[in-house]
Amino acid sequence: MLQHAILVLLLPLASAAIIALFLRRAGGAAAGLATAVAAAIAAIAIILAIHGEPFSASMEWLRLGDFSLSLGIKFDDLAALMLCIVGIVGLCVHVFSLGYMHDDPCRGRYFGGLSIFMFSMIGIVLADNLFMMFIFWELVGFSSYTLINHFHEKQSAADAAKKAFIVNRVGDFGFLLGIVACYWLNGTVNLTELGDKHVFSTMIPLLLFCGAVGKSAQLPLHVWLPDAMEGPTPVSALIHAATMVAAGIYMLCRINVLMTPDALTVIMWVGTATALYAALCAITQRDIKKVLAYSTLSQLGYMVAAFGLGSTHAEEAGAAVLAAGVGAAMFHLTTHAFFKALMFLGSGSVIHGCHHEQDIFKMGGLKAKMPLTFITFTIGVLAIIGMPFLAGFFSKDAILHLALENNHAVFAVLGFTVILTAFYMVRLWILVFLGTPRSEESAHAHEGGWSMTLPLVLLAVLSVLAGYTSLYGHLFDGVWSLIPHEEGLLIPLIGDALMLVGLTAAWVLYKPAADDALAQKSPGLFGALGALKASFDKLYDYYVAKVQQRFAMLLNFLEQVILSGLIVRGGAGLAGLFGLGARAAHVGSLHAYVYWFLAGVALLWAYAAGVF
Amino acid sequence: MNIDYSLFFRAMQPESLLIEAALAIIILDLTVMRRKDLSARLNVASLVGALAVALAAVLALRNGAMGEILNGVLNLDTLAVATRVGVLGLTLLVLGIGTGGARIRNPAEYVVIVLCAAVGFMLMASAQQLLLVFLALELASLSLYVLAGFDKSRPESAEAGLKYFLFGGMAAAFLLFGFSLLYGLTGTLDLPGMSVVMAATGFHPMLAVAMVMILVGFGYKAAAAPFHLWAPDAYQGAPAPAAAFIASASKLAGFVLFTRLLWGSASQGQMLGATPGWVPVVWLLAGASMLVGNLAALAQSNVRRLLAYSAIAHAGALLLGVIASGRSGPGPLFFYLTTYGIATAGAFGVFHVLENQGGAQKLKDLAGLHRRSPLLAGCLMVFILSLAGVPPLSGFFGKFAVFAAALSPAGLGSPTGWLAVFAIAMSAVGLYYYLLILKEALVRPAAAGATAVKVPAAAALTLVAAAGLTLIFGMFPSLLLRWF
């Protein structure tokens, strides 16, 4: 099994290397190779999951005195589940990309980027220690950067890529500090060893959580994710919806043993706030991908909140309830990965069909033009808003159940978010698919080829079925057994009632809409929501422009004068002079050399004798 | 005194094998290959030599650490085994890059002398008695003098050989003088016995005189300032494979011998290193080498001379490693030596290929290498960046391990720590001239009329292997470090 795990890790690396070295100009071959590798990854992931036995192995990578770093694999049900998600969604996205990116001149670079992403993501999933996880964490950030930047000749794409990378670096700095602190206090960063014995400290999990805040785009580092939609749509589906952004939640579940009640409370509130904030922002968006991006943010907030909700109980009952957070978070991560990837790919299909029109107010009436996309997208929408018997219903109920048990304030916020979720998703759905075409592009929309519809169908099936944990047989029991189960019908009833409120509101407001009905009927509310959305960017821009930039100017001045002027240039001049001198001393005559030699000997003797 | 000769012969298997191979090469060259052309003779001789070297490495590894042989004349500890294998590997590298150039007039003799030098290096790695130390050193040195002057078609080569020889003669005289003083003071030639006597008698002023003479001798071997003056001329004039050999395997064996002389092997406790006064002298040598090497390299326009000054700078860092290995063991020093040897021999290999196709002495002869031969340019980039100490290449971890070992005992509380800081600062200076080479090779367009470079298959294979090792040891330093 270890060989399988190593294979699944190294296959995409090999694919990326081959594409980078030989297939940069052969887009078709690169696409074929990357897709074949993605299929192999999905197959091996499922084989590994079916075998199911946890194992771990590691090799020493670097040793310096007592300090050692190792590379290793820790495979258990949690890793198996994540690996399967990455494998299946990855395969769907690769296949979808075959059609979606067919006419792109830089297909080689695109598929190479996807391969390097798969490699990095699988590295995070399999890593058995925090250092290794950090290495792949950064690699994931790098591949995300290259893929957002795929249309690099577009200024907005280049800016978005830079923004994503820099914002993530802020979080990663905290992550790195957390790893160092963890090593400092515990003497190890190996996940298994940490599970056996570790020092209780609130600082470590909170610092590590900073990494998750960056990667999973939680408040206040969420600003990069909406902009990341500049990347090709399949990339948004794979990286910025289903897998990479979920890496933060996965990492939290990996380090759950380190958590303390205080840390979990913080995590819970960050998640809850993100869920509400992003849902509010989603209401005003006009870009189909931006709506989905904010919905992703909101759902990630749900997962983080779910993880944190395991907490409040930990004070009383200990580790068993802490695990409930892991179960609920991973459950929602799984269902969300499928229905969000489905909707992103669906939006890709819509965008492709409408000749790269992304404004939902210029769409409409696509139900008839793109029936398959319509049906599958509808399933995705129903799943995310929590329609009974679809995947999202079960996982969201698990979270709401946890919230109701542990913290009523959080329950209220998350419940309100359910209304908002139903509202903005149905709004999107109505505007895109119902009514009549509102632009030339949408009037001539058409369905994509098989490579674009097949992944949609597969993901739609998964979005229906993924919530029934009994369907998995005994696979992933280690995770599913942690999901909290409620008694009675209270939670489903509340959840559905809230969802229906949002759904009806959207239906009433947007059924006849040709322009943004909310903006017309309640401009004040609409404006406030827009300002809320912009507030973080404005705040950061202010900070960068007014505080950081001025400080940097000051440093730059000092640097120019003292460092660059005096020390570097002066030092370089001195060094250059000395170098010329040394060269001049080197006359090439053996006699001169012997004198130098003897002078050196005399000097050393004098020194050894203590003359100076 | 009863001596276990069977053990001795088994311990000497690798050395004997190389000598036998050397004889076989001469016989082969005088009989079968007599009427063949020069390049065929070189290839056959190199092939036989390479096979013998590879086999010798296998034997050395299989024998493993056998402990003391011949009543302690030789000590085959882990360090000795590692050094033997390292020397053989570097010899293989030198033989590999030497093929394909038909300019050498006596190819069989060339390979034979390389093998002789390798035998000298291997003995240096394990010798523990001053007489054998000197003999091994001279066997290696005399072979290297001949190698430096081997290219009889170029006057520079003769000049290099002669300067190297005359300078070396003087240094050898100092070394021998120092050895004889040590013998006079202690009455024994065995290094372990000597430390016993010295511990009993205490410090004698004459010891300081002897120490300085020995340090001068080794300073010369290591090309440490102010005894470095032969190096630029020798590196510039000698045939590139010979220069590679002088810079790599010779350094490895010399520094290991020096460390053994000063610190003994792990089992025997401290030796000469315990005498007061020598560590400050080594500080001085190390500091001066790093200063002179790095700064003088800035002003060079000839790549070979530039590498020579870089070698002087590295010698300074290595001396720091020698001081540090008293406490931390020879692991970091050995790692540095091996990886430095591979990178510098590889760089000379690249220059050798270029020289065979129209000369590459000046920096600007490298212009446009990335178009003329992407393979050479890529390998050169790996080697030069490793020399500069850029992660993840092995040169970085060599520097890191040595500096960490120098800083770990007392931090900045001792001059060794400050010297490490100085070394780090000087590495920054070094980056400048290393990047000058890469700028020529990778950025500048080729001169008009420059043609593509044809790389002989054996040389290409060797260079790729060396670059691969540089990368692998950089990414998995534990492969080497765990020996110690």
Å from A68 to nearest chain B CA? Answer: 10
Residues B256-263, mean pLDDT to the nearest whole number = 86
Give the pLDDT confidence of B119-135 residue by residue, as tens digits. Answer: 999 999 988 889 999 99
CA atoms within 13 A on the CB side of B35: 0
CB atoms A596 and B229 under 8 Å: yes
CB atoms A64 and B166 under 8 Å: no
- Name which residue leads in pLDDT, A261 or B113: B113
Residue B462 confidence (pLDDT):
92
Å from A607 to nearest chain B CA? Answer: 7
Place of tokens 């290959």: B33
ipTM for the whole complex: 0.77
CB atoms B299 and A582 under 8 Å: yes
pLDDT > 70? residue B268 = no
Burial of A200 by CB count in 10 Å (0-12 exposed, 13-18 middle, 19+ buried)? exposed
pLDDT > 90? residue A576 = no
Neighboring chain B residues of A579 at a CB cutoff of 8 Å: 295-299
Neighboring chain A residues of B475 at a CB cutoff of 8 Å: 61
Residue A322 confidence (pLDDT):
57
- Number of helical H runs and strand E runs in chain A: 27, 2
Q: Which of A184-193, A292-301, A595-604, B63-72 has the highest mean pLDDT?
A: A292-301
Residue A316 confidence (pLDDT):
46
Percent of the residues in chain A that have a pLDDT greater than 70, as a whole number: 93
pTM above 0.80, yes or no: no
Instruction: Please state, rounded to an integer, the average pLDDT across all residues of chain A.
Output: 82
The whole-angstrom separation of Cα A246 and Cα A240 is 9
Give the pLDDT confidence of B34-74 residue by residue, as tens digits. Answer: 888 888 888 889 999 999 999 999 999 998 888 888 888 88
Residues A228-246, mean pLDDT to the nearest whole number = 84
CB atoms A597 and B167 under 8 Å: yes
Q: What residue of B is the nearest CA neighbor of A585?
A: B229
Residue A405 confidence (pLDDT):
80
Place of tokens 């001792």: B414
* Centroid of chain to Cα B386: 16
- Domain spans, chain B: 5-481
Residue A359 backbone dihedrals phi, psi, to 5 degrees:
-80, 120
Q: What residue of B is the nearest CA neighbor of A610?
A: B277
Residue B248 confidence (pLDDT):
92
Q: How confident is the model at residue B273 (pLDDT cuts 50, 70, 90)?
A: low
Count Cβ–Cβ pairs < 8 Å, chain A vs chain B. 95
The whole-angstrom separation of Cα B204 and Cα B277 is 11
Residue A180 confidence (pLDDT):
87
Give the pLDDT confidence of B225-240 residue by residue, as tens digits. Answer: 888 888 888 898 888 8
- Number of helical H runs and strand E runs in chain B: 21, 2
Q: How confident is the model at residue B89 (pLDDT cuts 50, 70, 90)?
A: very high
Residue A314 confidence (pLDDT):
45
- List the single residue in A64, A576, A608 with the smallest CB-CB distance to B404: A64
Give the pLDDT confidence of A294-326 residue by residue, as tens digits. Answer: 899 899 998 898 888 875 444 444 444 456 678
The whole-angstrom separation of Cα B16 and Cα A8 is 48
Q: Which runs of consecutive H residues, i.e. helices, occur in A23-76?
A: 27-51
Query: Which of A483-487, B177-181, B243-247, B271-275 comes out lowest in average pLDDT?
Result: B271-275
Residue A313 confidence (pLDDT):
46
- Name which residue leads in pLDDT, A587 or B460: B460
Residues A70-75, mean pLDDT to the nearest whole number = 85
Give the pLDDT confidence of B357-400 residue by residue, as tens digits. Answer: 776 678 888 888 888 888 889 999 999 999 998 888 999 989 99
pLDDT > 90? residue B318 = yes
Give the pLDDT confidence of A343-400 residue by residue, as tens digits. Answer: 888 888 888 888 777 887 777 777 778 888 888 888 888 888 888 888 888 888 888 8
The whole-angstrom separation of Cα A122 and Cα A486 is 33
Q: Are A489 and A397 in contact, with CB atoms under 8 Å apart? A: no
pLDDT > 90? residue A510 = no
With b for 16 or more beta-carbon neighbours within 10 A and e for fewer, the A404-433 pattern comes to bbbbeebbebbbbbbbbbbbbbbbbbbbbb
Residues B448-469, mean pLDDT to the nearest whole number = 87
Residue B312 confidence (pLDDT):
93
CB atoms B299 and A597 under 8 Å: no
pLDDT > 60? residue B407 = yes
CB atoms A583 and B174 under 8 Å: no
Q: How confident is the model at residue B245 (pLDDT cuts 50, 70, 90)?
A: very high
Give the pLDDT confidence of A443-465 residue by residue, as tens digits. Answer: 777 777 788 888 888 888 888 88
Residues B401-413, mean pLDDT to the nearest whole number = 82
Q: What residue of A is the nearest CA neighbor of B205?
A: A609
pLDDT > 60? residue A276 = yes
Instruction: Please state, rounded to an integer, the average pLDDT across all residues of chain B.
Output: 87
Residue A315 confidence (pLDDT):
45
Neighboring chain B residues of A63 at a CB cutoff of 8 Å: 477-478, 481-482
Give the N- to C-terminal CA distance of chain B in Å, as an integer: 32
Residue B447 backbone dihedrals phi, psi, to 5 degrees:
-65, 155
Q: How confident is the model at residue A470 (pLDDT cuts 50, 70, 90)?
A: confident
Residue B339 confidence (pLDDT):
94
- List the single residue in B226, B292, B478 with the smallest CB-CB distance to A61: B478
Rounded to 10 degrees, what is the CA torsion of B161, B166, B167, B169? Answer: 120
Q: Extract the tokens encoding B294.
A: 């790095």
Residue A312 confidence (pLDDT):
46
Residues whose CB falls within 8 Å of the CB of residue B281, separated by 6 or more in sequence, listed in order? A604, A607, A608, B211, B212, B215
- List the single residue in A63, A583, A608 with the smallest CB-CB distance to B212: A608
Q: How confident is the model at residue B275 (pLDDT cuts 50, 70, 90)?
A: low
- Beta-carbon count within 10 A of A450 CB: 12
With b for 16 or more beta-carbon neighbours within 10 A and e for fewer, the B288-298 pattern comes to bbbbbbbbbbb
pLDDT > 90? residue B182 = no
